[in-house]
Amino acid sequence: MQRRMTKRFVTIALLFVALLGAGPAALSAGPAAVEQAKIYMIAEGDEGESGEPVGCGDSLVPVTRDIPSGLSTQGKIAELLQILFSLNDPYYGQSGFRNAVADSNLSVDGVAIQGNTAVIYLSGTVSVAGVCDEPRVDGQIAAIARQFAGITNVIIILNGGPLFNNVGSIDFPITGHSVAPPFFPYWEAQGGLPIFGYPLSDQLVEGGFRAQYFERQRLEAHPENAAPYNVLFGLVGSQAAAERGLLGTAPFAPATQQGGANCEYFAETRHNVCGLFRTYWHSYGLDFGEAGFSARESLALFGFPISEQFQEQLEIDDQGTLATFTVQYFERVRMEIHTNPNTNQQFVLLGRLTADLVPPTP
């Protein structure tokens, strides 16, 4: 009995000494510090009287919630989204305000800020009761990010594509990516695999715009522009030439006009396009509704030439095997002359320039 009491006394004494050694902060430690921020619910049918107008005559209504203090802006947005997504009741308490995301199963994969644009990457499934719920869900998510200073634009990417997909998409198991709106059906209508190649990324955001990388091109969505300029192409030919250290070489220096019926001189960049490259340039283009392929349509697809044709060593397989090809660089592409081994006939292919330009997955 005495030994048990002595042991208990020693234990209590050691605990007391530990608490003294921890100092006043440990003795007075309370709950973790918090700050307040807002999630948003829907006031249905009030025509914008309760807050920012959204949906079918509805309003976004702010609801204050506590979040841990000291988070970055990205962390605050992610925390508030997780709070919103954890609410499974279609109505918020006794307020009568609607929660349009209640039936969805969404998780936050990441939040990035690019200038005035917040990029929200989500995974899971979104479930809505009708067409009016689509702007409600979009509004609830976007408003969480827009409450923070400096953020005026929000882009939401769900499972590598748009939040809502009303016009279909196409999957490519060979690369593990899909082409979804706004790049599909544009990708299909404007050339598909021969012109753009397979998708090499999901949708992402660069420079405040939704973008997607393909083997031969980078597409960028510009919803502020009228069709066909609502999707623009990257200058991947110029970018690849710069990264390969070619811009200062002789083929890229301004050239004089060549003679011959099968050559065309582009005074804008002071380069010639001849032979198979000239034929190919005029055989394809974006579809602006003009007869055949006009120079304007070909220019929109390929851009101006930025080099003369020359010989370049290129990798021809994943093992790094090199071969020499006749090539010519344009603003948006690299054209290559290949030879059919069975017929010995030459033909033009577009180079897989974009493969080396794809950024890391967000």
DSSP per residue, 308-355: --EEEEEE-STT--EEEEEEEEBSS-EEEEEE-TTT--EEEEE--GGG
pLDDT at 28: 53
- Burial of residue 125 (number of CB atoms within 10 Å: 0-12, 13-18, 19+): exposed
Domain chopping of the chain, boundaries: 34-162, 170-223, 239-356
Indicate the average pLDDT of the chain.
89
Query: What gap in Å lies between CA 117 and CA 208, rounded to an integer?
Result: 6
pTM: 0.80
Between the alpha carbon of residue 197 and those of residues 1, 192, 194, the distances in Å are: 83, 7, 6
Q: Quickly state the pLDDT bin for 355 (edges 50, 70, 90).
A: confident
Report residue 275: phi and psi, to 5°.
60, -135
Identify the band that residue 12 occupies on the pLDDT scale cut at 50, 70 and 90.
very low
Helix count and strand count (H, E) for the chain: 8, 19
Mean pLDDT of 34-49: 94
pLDDT tens digits for range 275-328: 999 999 999 999 888 877 899 999 999 999 999 999 999 988 777 789 999 999
Alpha carbon distance 110, 240 (integer Å): 29
* Sequence-separated (6 or more) residues with CB below 8 Å from residue 203: 157, 160, 161, 162, 180, 183, 210, 211, 212
* Rounded Cα distance, 331 and 268, in Å: 12
**pLDDT-derived band at 348, boundaries 50, 70, 90:** very high
pLDDT in tens, 42-74: 999 988 888 999 989 999 999 999 999 999 999
Task: Please report the sign of the dihedral spanned by the C-alpha atoms of residue 178, residue 183, residue 186, residue 190.
Answer: negative
